[in-house]
Amino acid sequence: MPKTPHEKILEGDENPTWFDLPEESTVTDDWTVLVLDNGCRIVSFGRERLAGAEVHVVGPDDVELAMWEMTEWAEDPEFVMGAILRVAASPWNQPTF
């Protein structure tokens, strides 16, 4: 198990599992977590990982559905923003890209 809160477990998993994410929308120096009505969460980092440098969509079962890095935003911001919204708003167990 990871050593710090909100860390994701990678170990060869195509869709990593997160643990200890807030259950309610939260903005701190470390995190921005937006909890949606469908139970999905949009997670972005703060501090050393500048907010927005990575965006993760995590399902209500704490499994990561998708992730984007800032280089992807720079290359095609309209496509990436649309993809984030589609994945986050889809029924959590059936993401649509």
What is the residue-averaged pLDDT of the chain?
80
In tens, the pLDDT along 68-85 reads: 988 998 999 999 999 999
pLDDT bucket at 31, cuts 50 / 70 / 90:
confident
Query: What does R_g of the chain's alpha carbons equal in angstroms?
Result: 13
In tens, the pLDDT along 41-72 reads: 999 976 666 677 889 999 998 889 999 988 99
**Structure pTM?**
0.79
Q: Where are the beta strands (DSSP E) in 1-97?
A: 8-9, 17-18, 26-27, 31-35, 41-45, 54-58, 64-69
